[in-house]
């Protein structure tokens, strides 16, 4: 059983990642959800996290509000992909549950310190602001963590929000730099793998065919959020990013990667947020992450569908 804190900016793809985890209670214990500003401003990410735990029938899972802006930059959002609420698509009711008192960063620190060493994983689905703040405030948690499994960055696919940067890293490159330099056990699910996971019409239809509320919501979410990407890429389905994190936690054998050094560009205006990945090991920089390069898309979608099917 893996104990996991989801740090997230939901976001339709964040939503699928969280729902698939909540549909996997034998393998993943979701300790809480820590919201961060990213795809949309913080008040929407908190509200969406609450809507998701209620959709999954798990209002007991604590939701915390975290950072409302990156370390040094103005917040860049992605309503052009996710809609004004960030979860446009399905008609989800407003939540009854409230966020918990206190800041996400303190929730992360207290949770990691409270539980036995090497038993808590952070699944990071948004800009890394909360995690970097937690590492700066309580460096002892870095060693105590089992690991950080994050969606972010790119090497072969280079960028999606600028020609050279992936969104999560671009929004807060300073935070990403702190996390990659921290010494934590990091696994990266970059665009290089998420661009292989196409939400094709039959794969979206499979969620709808489940016949439960969660499956219908997932199908409506992905139908909404793919509109922008289908035009952008011209593929047969939009890439599905954040669920790669949940799938990696559940079935690492669906993925292939290698340990490499990852550094983040924070200085250049042109390439801000670029992840410089020493994939071919042409420097003597020490590996600081397990970098996933590819994955099995059919088994990935089958796994997600099966887990969403276990929800109400």
Whether 80 is catalytic: no
What is the number of the residue whose Cβ is closest to ligand BDR?
167
CB closer to Ca ion, 123 vs 264:
123
Q: Which of 14, 172, 192, 229 binds ligand BDR (CB under 6 A)?
A: 14
Chain residues in the site for Ca ion (CB under 5 A): 9, 11, 14, 125-126, 242
Kindly tell me the burial class for residue 190, based on how many C-beta atoms sit within 10 Å of its own C-beta (0-12, 13-18, 19 or more): buried
* Binding-site string for ligand BDR from residue 104 to residue 143, where x marks contact by CB under 6 A and - marks none: ---------------------xx-----------------
Sole window of 44-52, 55-63, 100-108, 161-169 interacting with ligand BDR (rule: CB under 6 A): 161-169
Cα–Cα distances (Å) from 166 to 87, 134, 158, 163, 275, in that order, read 20, 22, 7, 9, 8
Tokens of residue 238, six digits: 């939009």
Cβ atoms 19, 11 nearer than 8 A: no
Positive/negative CA dihedral, 20, 309, 53, 4: negative
Is 192 one of the binding residues for ligand BDR (CB under 6 A)? no
With vertex at residue 199, the alpha carbon angle to CA 198 and CA 204, rounded to the nearest 5 degrees, is 160
- Between strands 238-239 and 198-199, the pairing is antiparallel
Report the nearest approach of ligand BDR to the CB of residue 240 (Å).
Answer: 9
Q: What is the DSSP letter of 24?
A: -
Is 78 one of the binding residues for ligand BDR (CB under 6 A)? yes
Tokens of residue 258, six digits: 């290698």
Is 180 one of the binding residues for ligand BDR (CB under 6 A)? no
* List of residues contacting ligand BDR (CB under 6 A): 11, 13-14, 39, 78, 81, 125-126, 151, 160, 166-168, 241-242
Query: Would you please indicate which residues are annotated as catalytic (active-site) residues?
Result: 241
């Amino acid at each position: 059983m893996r104990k996991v804190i989801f740090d997230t900016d939901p976001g339709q793809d964040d939503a699928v990642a969280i729902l698939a985890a909540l549909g996997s209670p034998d393998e993943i214990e979701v300790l809480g959800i820590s919201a961060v500003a990213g795809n949309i401003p913080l008040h929407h990410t908190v509200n969406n996290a609450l809507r998701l735990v209620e959709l999954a029938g798990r209002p007991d899972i604590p939701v915390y509000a975290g950072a409302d802006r990156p370390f040094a930059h103005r917040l860049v959002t992605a309503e052009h992909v996710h809609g004004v609420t960030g979860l446009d698509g399905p008609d989800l009711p407003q939540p009854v549950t409230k966020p918990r008192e206190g800041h996400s960063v303190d929730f992360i620190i207290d949770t990691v310190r409270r539980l036995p060493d090497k038993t808590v994983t952070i699944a990071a689905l948004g800009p890394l602001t909360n995690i970097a703040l937690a590492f700066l405030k309580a460096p002892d948690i870095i060693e105590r963590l089992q690991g950080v499994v994050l969606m972010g960055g790119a090497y072969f696919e280079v960028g999606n929000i600028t020609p050279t940067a992936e969104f999560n890293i671009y929004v807060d490159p300073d935070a990403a730099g702190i996390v990659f330099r921290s010494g934590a056990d990091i696994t990266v699910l970059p665009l290089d793998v998420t661009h292989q996971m196409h939400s094709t019409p039959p794969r979206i239809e499979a969620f709808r065919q489940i016949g439960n509320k969660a499956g219908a919501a997932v199908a409506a979410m992905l139908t909404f959020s793919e509109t922008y990407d289908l035009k952008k890429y011209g593929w047969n389905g939009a890439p599905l990013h954040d669920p790669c994190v949940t799938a990696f936690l559940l079935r690492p054998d669906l993925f292939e990667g290698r340990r490499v050094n990852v550094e983040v560009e924070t200085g250049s205006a042109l390439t801000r947020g670029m992840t410089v990945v020493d994939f071919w090991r042409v420097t003597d920089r020490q590996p600081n992450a397990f970098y996933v390069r590819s994955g099995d898309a059919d088994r990935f979608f089958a796994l997600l569908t099966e887990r969403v099917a276990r929800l109400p």
